[in-house]
């Protein structure tokens, strides 16, 4: 029996041979596709797949499953025609595509921010609402990180970096502009935009997409005003481990708060996501390699406004370890809440910033 990666590669090769998916440059294909023969689909199955369209392919090595994400829903009758198994691996056809980065967040389902009090002083928590001072938006403060002796905040590039267009020193507000309202927390300048990581649009033939990720950092105006607590759920862990298929994960975000879920697979190829920063009149498609898919536990793991959240897992000994940064999502008919979440591995992001996670910072005593 082939691995799920091999089966996914075989389906990709078949789809390319039938012009059902757009090819990437040969060097990019070779990086992510293993050397296997193209899968075989009967002619009537090809007709169905041409009608519903293929948005992307993902796979789960632990459960030996390949997910074919379709642009339109596959009917129960059509499921009896298209292959349910390829190279000995189960194939699931899930209707769903990735939403655009930078979309306005949905109305928050709970409090958009959390504050903890330590020794009589209030501290703004990770997992809370933030935005650039010049944008009517709101995303999530993922965590605090340390570079050298200085502490920074980390989130997505599309949350505070304006998709690489925010000027250095731009104020970062807490709560985010969209969450400022009568009777709420007075907005304050949490920090100043400092740096972003590579987020270059293009198909991989003209530019190097191998380093693309979605992360930005900002310096803190006053370290005493912020806490490493993730809402009121848990403190930010300082250990970082790699995401794996089947891993149970958690996050605290601006919109949906504290949620749990499971990593159900990883994208076979770099996933193309539309990115927008309307205040800079910017819009482009960016390819992100090494994205993992999370399904929520009984409901959606995240939605708009949760971008930037730190994704963690609880280990056997009860301690937490960080695994990723939440950056995108979209409809998924097979997921609870009909929404999938995409995360990027955190280890590589921190390495590029030469940073470590900060825990135990203005945390209430147990």
d(CA 330, CA 173): 27
pLDDT tier at 108, thresholds 50, 70, 90: low
Name which residue leads in pLDDT, 208 or 170. Answer: 170
Residues 73 and 171 in one domain: no
Each residue's pLDDT tens digit, 32-87? 999 999 999 999 999 999 999 999 999 999 999 999 999 999 999 999 999 999 99
pLDDT at 102: 64
Indicate if 77 and 126 belong to the same structural domain: no
User: What residues contact 180, with CB distance under 8 A and at least 6 apart?
Assistant: 173, 187
Determine the average pLDDT of the residues in 116-121: 94
Q: What per-residue confidence (pLDDT) applies to 97?
A: 81
Assess contact for 286 and 300: CB atoms under 8 A: no
For the cut 80, the answer to whether the pLDDT of residue 1 exceeds it is: no
Number of separate domains in the chain: 3
**Is 242 domain-assigned?**
yes
If asked whether residues 186 and 161 sit together in one domain, one would say: yes
For residue 340, what are its two tokens?
A: 């999938």
Q: Is the residue at 131 inside a domain?
A: yes
Average pLDDT, the chain: 94
Q: Are residues 19 and 86 in the same domain?
A: yes
Whether the full predicted model's pTM is greater than 0.85, yes or no, is: yes
* Residue 248 CB contacts under 8 Å (≥ 6 apart), including other chains: 260, 261, 262, 313, 314
Identify whether residues 222 and 196 lie together within a single domain.
yes
| pLDDT, average across residues 139-157 | 98
Last residue of a domain, one of 179, 212, 230: 230
Domain assignment present for 128:
yes
Which of 95, 123, 138 marks a domain boundary? 95
Torsion over CA of 345, 350, 351 and 357, rounded to 10 degrees?
-120
Domain that holds residue 265: 238-348
Please check whether residues 307 and 287 belong to one and the same domain.
yes
User: Which residues does 262 contact at the CB level (< 8 Å), separation at least 6?
Assistant: 246, 247, 248, 249, 294, 295, 297
Q: Is residue 60 part of a domain?
A: yes
Is 309 part of any domain? yes
Q: What is the mean pLDDT of residues 253-274?
A: 95
Residue 103 vs residue 122, higher pLDDT: 122
Q: Which of 211, 230, 249 is the last residue of a domain?
A: 230
pLDDT of 23 higher than 60: yes
Q: Is residue 330 part of a domain?
A: yes
Q: Give me the residue label for tokens 């996670």.
A: 357
Give yes or no: residues 20 and 58 share one domain. yes
pLDDT at residue 144 greater than cutoff 90: yes
How far is the first Cα of the chain from the last one, in angstroms, to the nearest whole number? 50
How many residues comprise the chain? 366
How far is Cα 79 from Cα 286, in angstroms, rounded to an integer?
32
278 and 315 fall within a common domain: yes
Please provide the DSSP assignment of 155-186 as one string. Answer: E-HHHHSTTTTSPTT-EEEES-GGG--TTSPP
Q: How many helices (H) and strands (E) does the chain have?
A: 6, 24
Residues 212 and 272 in one domain: no
User: Which pLDDT score is estimated for 207?
Assistant: 86
pLDDT bucket at 109, cuts 50 / 70 / 90 = low
Residue 109 in any domain: the answer is: no
Tokens 């990019």 -> residue: 28
Q: How confident is the model at residue 104 (pLDDT cuts 50, 70, 90)?
A: low
Nearest to 199 by CA among 74, 344, 360, 341: 344
Percent of the chain residues past pLDDT 70, beyond the cut: 97
C-alpha–C-alpha distance, residues 64 and 74, integer Å: 21
Q: What is the CATH number of the domain that holds 271?
A: 2.40.10.10
Question: pLDDT tens digits for 303-355?
Answer: 999 999 999 999 999 999 999 999 999 999 999 999 999 999 999 999 999 99
122 and 19: one domain? no
Specify if 244 maps to a domain. yes
243 shares a domain with 211: no
Only one residue has tokens 């389902």, namely 109
Model confidence pLDDT, tens digit, residues 246-257: 999 999 999 999
pLDDT in tens, 74-99: 999 999 999 999 999 999 999 988 87
Q: Is a pLDDT exceeding 80 seen at residue 136? A: yes
Same domain, 220 and 313: no
Q: In sequence order, what are the beta bridge partners of 146?
A: 151, 356
Tokens at 27, concatenated:
């060097």
Whole-number Å distance between alpha carbons of 60 and 63: 6
What's the CA gap between 175 and 126, in Å, rounded?
11
């Amino acid at each position: 029996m082939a691995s799920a990666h091999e089966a996914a590669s075989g389906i990709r090769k078949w789809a390319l041979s039938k012009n059902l998916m757009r090819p990437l440059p040969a060097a990019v294909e070779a990086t992510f596709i293993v050397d296997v023969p193209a899968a075989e689909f009967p002619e009537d199955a090809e007709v169905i797949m041409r009608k519903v369209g293929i948005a992307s392919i993902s796979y789960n090595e632990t459960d030996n499953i390949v997910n074919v994400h379709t642009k339109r829903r596959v009917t129960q009758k059509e499921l009896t025609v298209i292959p349910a198994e390829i190279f000995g691996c189960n194939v699931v056809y899930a209707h769903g595509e990735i939403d655009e980065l930078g979309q306005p967040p949905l109305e928050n389902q709970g409090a958009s921010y959390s504050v903890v009090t330590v020794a009589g002083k209030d501290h703004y928590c990770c997992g809370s609402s933030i935005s650039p001072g010049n944008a009517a938006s709101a995303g999530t403060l993922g965590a605090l990180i340390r570079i050298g002796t200085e502490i920074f905040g980390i989130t997505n590039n599309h949350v505070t970096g304006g998709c690489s267009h925010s000027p250095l020193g731009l104020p970062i507000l807490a709560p985010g502009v969209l969450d400022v309202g009568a009777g709420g927390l007075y907005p304050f300048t949490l920090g100043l935009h400092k740096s972003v990581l590579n987020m270059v649009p293009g198909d991989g033939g003209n530019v190097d997409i191998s380093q693309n990720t979605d992360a930005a950092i900002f310096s803190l105006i006053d370290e005493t005003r912020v806490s490493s607590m993730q809402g009121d759920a848990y403190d930010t862990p300082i250990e970082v481990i790699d995401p794996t298929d089947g891993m149970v994960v958690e996050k605290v975000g601006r919109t949906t708060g504290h949620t749990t879920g499971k990593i159900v697979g990883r994208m076979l190829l770099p996933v193309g996501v539309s990115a927008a920063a309307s205040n800079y009149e910017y819009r482009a498609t960016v390819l992100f390699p090494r994205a993992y898919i999370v399904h929520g536990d009984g409901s959606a793991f995240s939605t708009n406004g949760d971008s930037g959240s730190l994704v963690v897992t609880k280990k056997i000994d009860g301690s937490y370890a960080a695994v990723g940064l939440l950056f995108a999502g979209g409809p998924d008919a097979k997921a609870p809440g009909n929404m999938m979440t995409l995360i990027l591995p955190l280890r590589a992001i921190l390495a590029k910033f030469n940073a470590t996670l900060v825990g135990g910072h203005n945390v209430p005593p147990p």
